Structure 1
Amino acid sequence: MQRPWLFPLLAAAMVISWSGGFIGIRFATEGAAVETMLFWRSLASGLILLPFALRGPAIGARAALAQGLLSFLGMFLYLGGFSWAIALRVPTGLVALMADLVPLAIAALAWPMLGQRWTGRQALGTLIGIAGVALTTAPALRLGHAPLYAYALPVLGMVTFGLATVLQKRSPGLGIVQRLCLQCLWAALFFSPFAALGGGLVPPMTFVALGGIAWLVLVATLASWGIYYLCLRLYPPNRVAALIYLSQPLTMVWAHLVFAEPLTLGMIAGLVVTLGGVALVSGQETA
């Protein structure tokens, strides 16, 4: 049955929770090392979902390994890239803006992998989107104090998340809870050596650290990724990816109000240009 009200409702919930992930990791890293936060974010989320995942159909070794690959691309490299960039003090709004190019990566990958045609409109949107990111990055590089390589980490995360999104569409079989549970546990395994060598496997027993973990688990993982998988099951990948860039304006405002991060006219102009490019890429996608 058609439910025209469902997509706007899911879209609003995903935009708010996805934006909260960027703000949450910025807050959490005030109290502990980013590697420790990422490890506990993944481990706690996976353990919470585990009893519910075990109630579903039996999970074979092949399915578990497939979710491991998706976790490496969509959680370890994506979350790691953006989180380490934020921890290195790349402005949070700029990091989230770089995530706006996710729909562009998905559109490019969907052509060879899902048979979706790459149109002239999408190619133009890609060029405009890249120009918008370049326009935004220029003032941020002058305002920020992060090392140069830190600005490449969100780009890596953007590409790998786009690949993971397309692969998700090609890997049916498991339910949403089972997928999310397995990918969180795999991500905890991937992050564990970095946590052990970095901030440690045990987080500080402080309000900031524990509150940050709780926010990352409940809002940035269970809510945002759960809604993301639900949307991906119901709608085409380009349409789902478009929701991610809609969280960007909210993230920039949050970061400016909460952390006093810069919000310049150049960044706003880059945002507008990038959103225009992404709209060109995603606008032709239908459910």
Structure 2
Amino acid sequence: MSIPTTSSSSLCDLLTWKDPVQTGKVFGSIILGLVVFKAVNLINIFFHLSYIALLFSAAGEYAGKLVTGQGFVTKYKPSSKTYAKTINESVLPSIGRGIEKLEEEFQKIVYSHDIETTLKAAGLSYILYKITSWFSFFTLLATSVVLLFTVPVIYVKNKKEIDAAVAQYSKLAKDKTAEYTKLAQDAAAPHVKTLVEKSGPVGSFLQSKFPTRTAGSTVGDAKASKFEGVDVPTQSTASTTGSSKFPEVPTSSIKDDSTFEDLVEEAKAAGVKAADVEGEKISF
């Protein structure tokens, strides 16, 4: 659509003072309106003029009907145009869609559909609470207007320097935030550990919900395998983590001409040594 682009371009040109005369007129008019609104009670004046005009209208209509049989206001009123139909067809639908979108976003923030967005809104509300407690609404409105007509033109004239400064200080802020976050975690770790230990089963339950991986957590569980009635634990491919170690069967004592009985005797001897180390009894 060309209309939004033109409108955006016109607004940008207005705020960046591309046409100083036009921008000066708009800026001066807004400031003058704010000063008048601050100095004069416009609402009081509006209602004061309203009741006087309505009294004159009623008196003229009554006098005309009394003298000529037709009210003066009805007889001499100017032709009036109605704008309700235009507003209903063009303005109100846009306002309705905008309000619907605003309500949807408001519900997302209030009901925490996105926790990060809700926290940002809470932070912004706190900042606005502090600002509005220090300054009046009129002061904030006037300051916003002045900034609106000064910040864009300053940014356009010093774009490279401002972008470089923003990038530098953003990186510095991120580094400092990460540093302070790490320090806070390191400082809180002992207290959290103490709290978990003192809280008993509750702390153990909470700690189980946040498991920590260790070097031995990747070692597979030992599985028992059966070989001729002998329970021999299968050693994992990873290195053993316990203090015990299964002895290896000496191969140097097995000769080429050994019989089956000799092999059984060697296996029994190895089993006895394993039982002595592990404190278990292996039966054949």
Q: Same fold (TM over 0.5)?
A: no
TM-score, normalisation: structure 2? 0.19
Higher relative contact order (CA 8 A, sep 6+): 1
| Between structures 1 and 2, the one with greater helix share | 1
Q: Which has the larger radius of gyration?
A: 2
